[in-house]
Amino acid sequence: MGSRRQFLQQSILAGAAFSVPAFDLLGYMHPESQIPDAPKISLAQWSLHRSLRKGELKAEEFPLIAKALFGIQAVEYVNEFYTAELENQAFWQQLRRRAESEGVKNLLMMVDEAGELGALEKKARDQAIDHHRKWMEAAKILGCHSIRVNAFGKGSREELKQSLVDGLGRLAEAGGELGMHVLIENHGLHTSDAAFMVGVIREIDSSNLGTLPDFGNWCLNKEWGSTKGGACTQSYDPVRGLEEMLPLANGVSAKSYDFDGDGNETQLPYKDLLRLVKDAGFQGYIGIEYEGDRLSEAEGVRATKALIEKTWKGLE
């Protein structure tokens, strides 16, 4: 196992050399667990989506990539990179063993394009629930505690609320049967209206249903919710949104887009957002989700990690 691990480390580092500063090729970054009083940090696979789509990194090596390149020992998967393996139990068992052999925790699976849980037609909701349940079963084999879902649907607010209470409620029931949680992320349109979504969750009143608030997805008039580049014309206040969703959170997604010369995020009020998380006594993981273009993916992940740690320490 030792020789294989060393080979994989060298292969990953070589394959990612285009985006990794030369000094980091000398060895591992130190895990955050070695830093006193550090927040618990995880890595969202979406941070590396360009490299994964191009085949420059392999999805099945994600746990080792997180540890070898960034010193991060907890990961959040994205279902897009595993669609061919959805019902392949042996694949998920092997991926879990791979993570455990590296001391990396599998936290959750982010599920996209699996049907609208708030669809007005019951048949469409039934299909979405069934598809999400399959991903939940895969995530359970991986050892994850949750799947992250989108609460999309169409119709008036009242129609949406009724559909979402049914779709999300029944999916949460399935989660209870499997010992899994269902987490809703603000991802644009009505899902980024924190007060509305919290109202839906509280009406369902399930211990298996919660939130994964994202620092950056607060656009109310655009699907997926990105506020990148100031293109969004109608946004929910990110501090207010996080404050409203945080009491139901089982994870936090630290979105980042770009950084100034001092390492500060240029589009999001990171200090205010992290202060909310810290003051709330949040005990879960803060997941890095770099989505910028100017820095490479590796540089963006490192910059986000450094900003979280620096800001967190400064809040003492």
CA distance 179 to 174: 9
278 in a structural domain: yes
* Confidence grade of residue 10 (pLDDT, cut at 50, 70, 90): low
Tell me the CATH number at 122: 3.20.20.150
Distances (CA, A) of 147 to 49, 112, 121, 208, 209: 18, 10, 23, 11, 10
Q: What are the tens digits of pLDDT across the range 102-117?
A: 999 999 999 999 999 9
> At 207, phi and psi to the nearest 5?
-70, -10
* Confidence grade of residue 9 (pLDDT, cut at 50, 70, 90): low
Q: Across residues 80-95, what is the average pLDDT?
A: 98
Higher-scoring residue by pLDDT: 33, 228:
228
23 in a structural domain: no
Query: Do residues 259 and 293 make contact, with C-beta atoms less than 8 angstroms apart?
Result: no
pLDDT tops 80 at residue 178: yes
- Domains in the chain: how many in total? 1
Higher-scoring residue by pLDDT: 91, 23:
91
Which DSSP category does 284 fall into? S
21 in a structural domain: no
155 in a structural domain: yes
pLDDT tops 60 at residue 302: yes
11 in a structural domain: no
> At 230, phi and psi to the nearest 5?
70, 20
Range of the domain at 56: 39-314
83 in a structural domain: yes
1 in a structural domain: no
pLDDT reported for residue 267: 94
In DSSP notation, 149-172 reads E-----S-HHHHHHHHHHHHHHHH
pLDDT tops 50 at residue 26: no
29 token code pair: 């970054």
The model's pTM is 0.90
Average pLDDT, rounded, for the chain? 91
- The CA-based dihedral angle spanning residues 100, 209, 110, 118, taken in that order and rounded to the nearest 10 degrees: 160
